[in-house]
Structure 1
Amino acid sequence: MNRCNFFGMLAAIGAAMLSAACGDGNPNPADVLPSAGQTEWQRMEYCMFVHFGPNTFTDSEWGTGAEHPAVFAPEALDCRQWAATARAAGMKGIILTAKHHDGFCLWPSRLSTHTVRESGWRGGRGDVLRELADACREYGLRFGVYVSPWDRNHPAYGTPAYNEVFAGMLREVLTEYGEVFELWLDGANGEGPGGKRQEYDWELFLGTIRACQPQTIVFSDVGPGCRWIGNERGYAGETCWARLDTAGFEPGAGAPPTDTLNRGNVFGAAWVPGEADVSIRPGWFYSPATDAKVKRVEELFDIYCASVGRNANLLLNVPADRRGRIPAPDSLRLVELRGMLDRVFGHSLAAGAAGALTDGDPDTYREFGARGGAFEIVLPEPVTFDMLVLQEYTPCGQLVAGWEAEYRGADGEWIRFVRGTTIGHKRIVRFDPVTARRVRVRITRALGRCRIAEAGLYCTAEGAR
């Protein structure tokens, strides 16, 4: 059996198992479901982006492609340090800019003369992708790559031949470095050498990826694995559907409007969850001028709640410096953020108070009808909380379109303290502190039978338990 057919068979089996798990095999007639790989991907929630290349050494964000390869000269590259930092931060994977718009390849591509081989770094035998792939495996992280189709250096750019060149580069990356969990296809399409522009063959690119590693989650403005969230601030929409209408659109200039990417489409024909990318610094590539401008931990916490907490994954860029290491200010801030996340979300104040909904298992759930329903969290004693976390069992779809939460006052009346629209994989909501013993969550609008997997109460105050 060839590899492609094998993965196709696994995908079919996975789809059948998901249908069976959802009940009657057709849980909601109009529903669109994630693949098993997309469910696994979204449960990762939080990964590291690393922008690194000639721009790191020229103090620029977009290289021209005319930079001499020798400018790339990290004297102490240590991808194990990247991986150790990511793991300490609680991240689940690392995605590296293997090729940015300048065309410089961080691996010795046989299809370009603008690579680490020509830089002279490590005697022309260096390979950043190899070192990072090995480090990710050592530290139990997933390995991903960003490969820009725009190339401001390659002489074939702007001609039909370049599409085959780029497909060949994808083939190198996907066949020589082990499993790639996510591949970023940036839709940027500017001028190449001599002012030429390229007509990208997206069908060829996607076909190449499927042939090499069909399980890879492909990122672009229209997926098919996951989508850009419409901004580079890390904020998903307050309403955020994992579904998207992609017909007639393509990455880059032909993408859906940014507000559509931010919110998704309630009845979208494809399951394309959002990924929110943002940099820990003002720029994407390292600059000495930004050493004192690393985002505050409070701002990063807000971004986490507005991405992971709004049904999107967070891809936080932490650029490597000119040594080839994650700078100390950045790594220290990541550890601070991990500490805050652990302190706030390490233990739900509602743990065990509502059976399957508070057992910490994303694969157990309660089912509610198309007309909605309610569940109650009854605590042994009153607690103070200022955050509510809800999760749907998304392998059976995203169906909640409206909900509200109430607490029971001293006079026995139910008092609403927050409400929202979508839930999806995870919804984190912050509000003024509430002290109560009984909390009720009501599903006020659903597109079909919905399944709630988790409900948690948390407090951001120090020492709250």
Structure 2
Amino acid sequence: MAVSLEEAVKVVPTPRQLAWQEMEFYAFIHFGMNTFTGRQWGLGDEDPQLFNPTAYHAAQWVESCRLAGMTGVILTCKHHDGFCLWPSAYTDHSVKSSTWQDGQGDVVRDVAEACREQGLKFGVYVSPWDRHEPSYGDSPRYNTYFQNQLRELLTNYGEIFCVWFDGACGEGPNGKMQVYDWEAAYRIIRELQPSAVINICGPDVRWCGNEAGHTRESEWSVVPDARWNIEEIESESQQEDDGTFSQKINAETEDLGSRSVLAEANRMIWYPAEVDVSIRPQWFYDPVDDDKVKTVDELIDLYESTVGGNSALLLNIPPDQRGLIHETDARYLREFGQWLRATYGQDLAEGANVWASQTRDTSVDAGNLTDGRSDTYWCPQEGMEQAELVIDLGTETTFDRIVLKEYIQSGQRIERFQLAFKQGDEWVYLYEGTVVGYKKICSFQQTKARYIQLKVTESRINPILSSFGVYCSR
């Protein structure tokens, strides 16, 4: 037992995982029966007539996400109460049984079309747990039901970038626990939407382990294959609708991929992290939370710690009973998007000269770090676990953020690094970090300098960097 460094760096993302990673920041939309009952977990016995948004406008939801700088939307097509936001042929517990839009409405269709029109990708959340469906707990019957609904969602609404399965699992009406046929569900997804990632209870994207927005100091994408364990994911997921789970942090799993973990592992897999967190204290809209929306400053901190910490950020934005994103949420999202574009819209190091301690060959020139491309990289020769770079910005420049990106097509390698700037003849400490992965945002007090130094002090075999960006917040 033990995985060598050589074996660890050969673990790389699939094309679908790489495309997902490049999305970085996208939305959860929790909307459904719970929006109108004041619950977070419905019981499944709710009257479909309760679903009646009075000013519903799906395009406004997507616009709020787009203006915030998001790249996609995942809609809760069916939550635990079993109520379907599309007119499923397999149950009457859906929008077709409401008076809303005379029973002809389809929220899934509307959001999918709005995403296409506004250039965002569309994904689906469908709860495996169903508190309404009578066959739940009769495993073969319910698995057929669930698979039929999955096929509806994956064939009628265009391209899907993500299928999101959570780990909530309760007893059925017969008092039995449902045994899900995950492998059959995965086969259906791969058949109908081969580019879609399967998140959380799935093989492509890993849950970060909490809903509080907490991120690890070192977030490894290369983790032991034991992390993909459906029973463990379910056991760590929310068990009761008590309103406290979203604030809990499990500190027992801070280290998922260090050398000490490699020494105890049998096999490592590429299983990157997604951080799911709500802009409000709860997942579904509740008017009592109108004064508890995350501020722009809180959104900035959240974005930079997650997207800038080798994770993707899945930010939940719950529409209200009108069927609109509340004015406060929409304003903060818009203002955050403005900040995001102002801060990261111009790379102050683009085209800058770069000197490196050593390169492997002329095809991986250090200038690749500032060429603005994601398909080029720099690396020293194999065996050089430490390396040094100097970026020449050409003139004294004010900055407060440096963004590093590894060329993850060649694995995750950097374990520790330091940044410094030149003041006279001296190098002055700026920042110290651990892993980089897909993206690492390093923020610090505004600094003015021409030369910036990067020292990779620990890496696996040799570091392979794709990008070195320099920015200044506005």
TM-score, length-scaled by structure 1: 0.88
Hey, what's the Cα distance between the residues in 1 that align with 2:253 and 2:178? 24
Structure 1 counterpart of 2:413: 399
2:440 corresponds to 1:440: no
Hey, what's the Cα distance between the residues in 1 that align with 2:81 and 2:125? 13
Structure 1 counterpart of 2:245: none
- Structure 1 position 233, deviation (Å): 2.3
| 1:71-98 Cα shifts (integer Å, max 9, x gaps) | 1111232212222222222111100000
Equivalent residue pairs, number: 433
Structure 2 counterpart of 1:202: 182
One-letter amino acid of the counterpart of residue 363, structure 1: D
Q: 1:389 to 1:189 in 2, by over 3 A?
A: same
Hey, what's the Cα distance between the residues in 1 that align with 2:250 and 2:96? 38
Structure 2 counterpart of 1:288: 287
Q: How does 1:195-344 map to 2 (within 5 A)?
A: 195-221=175-201, 223-247=202-226, 249-250=229-230, 252-254=233-235, 264-266=256-258, 267=262, 269-344=268-343
2:28 corresponds to 1:49: yes
Q: How does 1:1-400 map to 2 (within 5 A)?
A: 28-30=6-8, 31-160=10-139, 161-193=141-173, 195-221=175-201, 223-247=202-226, 249-250=229-230, 252-254=233-235, 264-266=256-258, 267=262, 269-353=268-352, 354=354, 355-369=367-381, 370=383, 371-400=385-414
SS in 2 for 1:253: helix
| 1:78-126 Cα shifts (integer Å, max 9, x gaps) | 2122222222221111000001111111111122221111223222221
Hey, what's the Cα distance between the residues in 2 that align with 1:317 and 1:254? 23
Hey, what's the Cα distance between the residues in 1 that align with 2:317 and 2:235? 29
Which residue of the other structure, out of 449, 459, 463, is the alignment partner of 2:472?
A: 459
Structure 2 counterpart of 1:421: 434
CA contact (8 A) 1:400 1:446 kept: yes
Hey, what's the Cα distance between the residues in 2 that align with 1:436 and 1:246? 44
CA contact (8 A) 2:209 2:236 kept: no
One-letter amino acid of the counterpart of residue 135, structure 2: A
CA contact (8 A) 1:227 1:261 kept: no
CA contact (8 A) 1:230 1:259 kept: no
Hey, what's the Cα distance between the residues in 2 that align with 1:231 and 1:67? 29
Hey, what's the Cα distance between the residues in 2 that align with 1:235 and 1:48? 17
- Structure 1 position 416, deviation (Å): 2.5
Structural RMSD (CA): 2.1
Q: 1:260 to 1:365 in 2, by over 3 A?
A: farther
Structure 2 counterpart of 1:17: none
CA contact (8 A) 2:456 2:463 kept: no
One-letter amino acid of the counterpart of residue 276, structure 2: D
Q: 1:179 to 1:66 in 2, by over 3 A?
A: same
Q: Which runs of 5+ in 2 are unaligned?
A: 238-248, 355-366
CA contact (8 A) 1:236 1:263 kept: no
Greater CA drift, 258-267 or 157-166 = 258-267
Identity, % of aligned positions: 44
Q: Which runs of 5+ in 1 are unaligned?
A: 1-26
